[in-house]
Amino acid sequence: MAGLNGDPFLGIDDNIEKLQYNNNSKEVIDKEGLVVGIGEDSSNNKNNNQGGEKDMAGNSIHRSGSRPQLDLSKAEIQGNSEERDPTILLPNQTDDISHLALDIGGSLIKLVYFSRHEDQSVDDKRKKTVKERLGISNGNRRNFPILGGRLHFVKFETSKLNECLDFISSKQLHRGRIDSHHWNSEAPANENAVIKATGGGAYKFADLFKERLGVSIDKEDEMDCLVAGANFLLKAIRHEAFTHMEGHKEFVQIDHNDLFPYLLVNIGSGVSIIKVDGDGKFQRVSGTNVGGGTYWGLGRLLTKCNRPYSSVTPLFSFDELLELSQRGDNRTIDMLVGDIYGGMDYSKIGLSASTIASSFGKAISDKKELQDYRPEDISLSLLRMISYNIGQISYLNALRFGLKRIFFGGFFIRGHAYTMDTISFAVHFWSKGEAQAMFLRHEGFLGAVGAFMSYQKHGLDDLMVHHLVERFPMGAPYTGGKIHGPPLGDLNEKASIIEFCLTNMRQFMLYSISWMEKFVLKGTEITAPVPMAPPGTTGLGGFEVPSSRGATLRSDASALNVGVLHLVPTLEVFPLLADPKMYEPNTIDLSDHKELEYWFTVLSEHLPDLVDKAVASEGGTDDAKRRGDAFARAFSAHLARLMEEPAAYGKLGLANLLELREECLREFQFLDAYRSIKQRENEASLAVLPDLLLELDHMDEETRLLTLIEGVLAANIFDWGSRACVDLYHKGTIIEIYRMSRNKMQRPWQVDDFDLFKERMLGSEGKKPRPHKRALLFVDNSGADIVLGMLPLARELLRRGTEVVLVANSLPALNDVTAMELPDIVAEAAKHCDILRRAAEAGGLLVDAMNNNTLDGSRGNSSSVPLMVVENGCGSPCIDLRQVSSELAAAAKHADLVILEGMGRALHTNFNARFKCEALKLAMVKNQRLAEKLIKGKIYDCVCRYEPAT
């Protein structure tokens, strides 16, 4: 049967063997000539709106007849509107809106599903007041609402379809019930329930989905989904595309304005080669029937390593074949140029002795039977043969259309180094370096992502890079198989279920716990990937065999490269960045292996103290101790994996590393490891604040400004993320350490721009400068840092008529103060300061009546400039200004001064950042390595860096 566009080979990924397409009508026709489905013509999606339906903005939209509708009319909050994550009732909703999409291929089933965030902050009265002042409305910015949540990626072998169905059913994904507090296995079925699916299996297994799950399959065109998924990922994920040559992975920053045209090569069971000219504009130009199915099928026949089927031992898998190749040596089977020329190169035509002349060529002359060859060598030779063939065919098609960039996707690749290097070698070799092979981290999920996007309610096509944050929670079901139990409650509940399941194997298979839960209850270890030898020149792929012969390749190693995408529609690019495209938050280059090793050592050494604090924050219970131990092992495993493959989770910076630690803590239910410490330090600092403010008020203007900056630097010494500072805490109280730090403040500092800042603030030659209109103060630690350092500085700015916005973390990280905690701290401080009280009232921080111990008892002053608090949108000691909250972005629009305080925000990140407005970066250096690298100084040196507007 001829393939698309007259190709001699069908080559459609994942073998849609019995279907052919009518390119004009988009009908899908079976082998008997009957129409079994109709795909959507992407060229008509935007312009042919026959029904005249309007979206929320009044624009015409197109919907397919079978597409589920989201009816928001008469929507209302059900229950208490003040409760956390209240349920929203849609009384006029008739269709079940699923949060699941599938790509059902001939070899693998790929799932993309959505789960709602459960840690959204409460929208209290204070936040509403601040939003009103900043001009932030709750109106919908896009045609369809995007729920904040997580996008998960899961795969199953198609031969294990029943396991996939069990997974969907147990988590109620087909009904959109993927939150633990909404899960109900007895929820009634809805005959209108529809889920999106693409791939040949969407047709083949439609009846089975209806029978087992009671849902209908809404079929989406496979090529449409592949292209839509690829375009979305390339635009929305910052570190999606990368090159892989001679073992070196390098991420490629894609310019959205220069993305098209490109060649998309999707390697499933077969291979499809697609020329992509734009969103919805593409053409399948070629393909080959030699793909992943060929490797799997021939490998199974030739290696004879498939195991007999039993109820316990699974059938031979693709990943086992890859595992064999890790330990293979292709020189025992492949005929090399050196074998023909007596170990010499064929230099006249540029072929080295190690170049493969004929795959499997030595089998011609060797007097061996099949069983005499090592399965590992056969697997590697076969992998290289097919990978090289795909690379060459892809380049020849790129040459046809004059394309320089080729993106490779599909689950054949699986993030496998040999596969990528062989493909890259082929493209580079035949193009003489002019064309470039690039790979996608979500390589196997292109079709599933495209199908997911076809739910119009998600509105993903409107998402940008800053709306998605990729994270790697330990408990995420990143692969198929046994991880498909329902969401469970607390750990005691999980323990009782495990005890029950151990006595009932059948139930255990149905209610298996997640990876994270196994860490807590079973002590399961994570093994790091196989270490690779330095690149050599053996064979066409150009690599020696792995150094760790006999070691095991994780069957899920490639899946670990795919994290959970956190969809945060309220994240925006910080508008005051001078050049967002050139902005790089990280100042530490972890591509240097020695640098990476140093920081891994720092984190590892700090781990025991962090675990102690985390366990103490949960009352020191046995349960907390188990979780603390599990967190330590899990985070250590992450570090071990990153030491082997630093780019496993995307481009790695110190900020990413620190955020990974915080995410891991949260995953093991340590929501605020330093809660009690922060509270104690806040109380101690607030107790001495009145004396400090009184002292400041008796100073002249110039002395006061210097004392304020010294106070910020001195108070910034309180950092539980620094080993040197932790040692200090054992030598004195918080007030004693603060006083000691203040007494040692001697100028000049290592970076000292105070005189420039003073001139801007106080003027020169008797000329008073205009005050700043609005200042954004990015605050750091709790306790003395915020109370004795940043609040007095904020008070001085308020005194001068400057609006002040305190910018704090959305989620806890170490002992950093959060936006939820700051209003209470300000309220306590305001009891002793009339300036702070009036500003806090004007900024909506004191919405309740103040008690009677204020200074003068007067009520709010409408003429006072406001003091406000906004969250920054992150939960890390560092901050990436490409992804900040919409509140912060709104506050920044009228700001003319940014103050970044603390090592994480002003040194680890943003030390080199440039802004459209004035910027002041303040920090005490508490790491010797950072001091040497960044400011050529030593530990406890101070940084006061002032930068005029760019």
* Dihedral angle, C-alpha 657, 661, 662, 665, nearest 10 °: 170
Residue 433 belongs to domain spanning:
238-327+373-441
What CATH code is carried by the domain that includes residue 296?
3.30.420.40
Tell me which amino acid residue 395 is: Y
**Least trusted range by pLDDT, from 444-453, 473-482, 534-543:** 534-543
Tell me which amino acid residue 889 is: A
- For 23-44, write each residue's pLDDT tens digit: 333 333 333 333 223 233 333 3
Three-state SS sequence of 748-808: CCCEECHHHHHHHHHCECCECCCCCCEEEEECCECCHHHHHHHHHHHHHHHHCCCEEEEEE
Q: Establish if 533 belongs to a structural domain.
A: no
Beta-bridged to residue 571, according to DSSP, are: 885
Beta-bridged to residue 250, according to DSSP, are: 243
In 10 A of CB 369, how many CB atoms? 7
pLDDT value of position 350: 72
H/E stretch holding 446 reads helix 446-453
**From edge to edge, which strands make up the β-sheet containing 774-778?**
751-752, 942-947, 918-924, 897-901, 774-778, 803-808, 867-871
> Structure pTM?
0.76
H/E stretch holding 928 reads helix 928-930
Pick the most confident of 204-208, 330-334, 724-728: 204-208
- For 302-329, write each residue's pLDDT tens digit: 887 544 444 444 445 788 888 888 889 9
Choosing from 419, 441, 463, the residue where a domain stops is 441
874 closest CA partner among 920, 804, 825, 816: 816
**Least trusted range by pLDDT, from 332-346, 350-364, 402-416, 709-723:** 709-723
Helix axes 318-326, 292-303, angle to 10 degrees: 70
Q: Establish if 699 belongs to a structural domain.
A: yes
pLDDT value of position 847: 63
- For 884-940, write each residue's pLDDT tens digit: 999 999 999 899 999 999 999 999 999 999 999 999 999 999 888 888 889 999 988
Instruction: Give the separation between CA 736 and CA 729, rounded to whole angstroms.
Output: 10
Residue 499 banded pLDDT, cuts 50, 70, 90? very low
Of all residues in the chain, the percent with pLDDT exceeding 70 is 70
- Reading phi first (left if > 0) and then psi (alpha if -120 to 50, else beta), residue 591 is in alpha
Task: Give the CA angle between residues 841, 847, 852 to the nearest 5°.
Answer: 75
Q: Establish if 866 belongs to a structural domain.
A: yes
Q: Establish if 784 belongs to a structural domain.
A: yes
Q: Is pLDDT at 294 greater than 60 in this prediction? A: yes
What is the number of domains present in the chain? 2
Residue 509: exposure state from Cβ atoms within 10 A (0-12, 13-18, ≥19) = middle
Q: Establish if 190 belongs to a structural domain.
A: no
CB 329 within 8 A of CB 377: yes
Taking the alpha carbons at both ends of the chain, their separation in whole angstroms is 64
Helix axes 491-502, 622-644, angle to 10 degrees: 80
- For 201-215, write each residue's pLDDT tens digit: 999 999 999 999 999
Q: Is pLDDT at 820 greater than 70 in this prediction? A: yes
Q: Establish if 696 belongs to a structural domain.
A: yes
DSSP characters over 478-533: -SSTT--PPP--SHHHHHHHHHHHHT-HHHHHHSPPPHHHHHHHH-PPPPPPPPPP
Instruction: Give the separation between CA 219 and CA 38, rounded to whole angstroms.
Output: 8
C-alpha 502, offset from chain centre = 35
Task: Look up residue 904 and give its DSSP letter.
Answer: I
More confident position, 440 or 90: 440
751 closest CA partner among 598, 509, 945, 518: 945
More confident position, 475 or 764: 764
What CATH code is carried by the domain that includes residue 706?
3.40.50.10880
Q: Establish if 152 belongs to a structural domain.
A: no
More confident position, 330 or 264: 264
Q: Residue count of the chain, please give it.
A: 950
- For 101-149, write each residue's pLDDT tens digit: 999 998 889 999 887 765 444 446 667 777 777 777 544 344 344 557 7
Q: Establish if 243 belongs to a structural domain.
A: yes
pLDDT value of position 734: 59
In 10 A of CB 612, how many CB atoms? 13
Q: Is pLDDT at 488 greater than 50 in this prediction? A: no
B/e letters for 451-483, b = 16+ CB within 10 Å, e = fewer, are bbbbbbbbbbbebebbbbbbbbbbbbbbbbbbb
In 10 A of CB 527, how many CB atoms? 13
CB 154 within 8 A of CB 167: yes
Contacts of 81 by beta carbon, 8 Å cutoff, 6+ apart: none
- For 353-408, write each residue's pLDDT tens digit: 888 889 999 999 888 888 889 999 999 999 999 999 999 999 999 999 999 899 99
Choosing from 416, 441, 466, the residue where a domain stops is 441
R_g over Cα of the chain: 30
**From edge to edge, which strands make up the β-sheet containing 35-38?**
20-22, 27-29, 35-38
Residue 258: exposure state from Cβ atoms within 10 A (0-12, 13-18, ≥19) = exposed
Choosing from 388, 417, 441, the residue where a domain stops is 441
pLDDT value of position 872: 95
| 3-state DSSP percent of the chain in helix, strand and coil, to 5 | 40, 15, 45
Helix axes 292-303, 375-401, angle to 10 degrees: 160
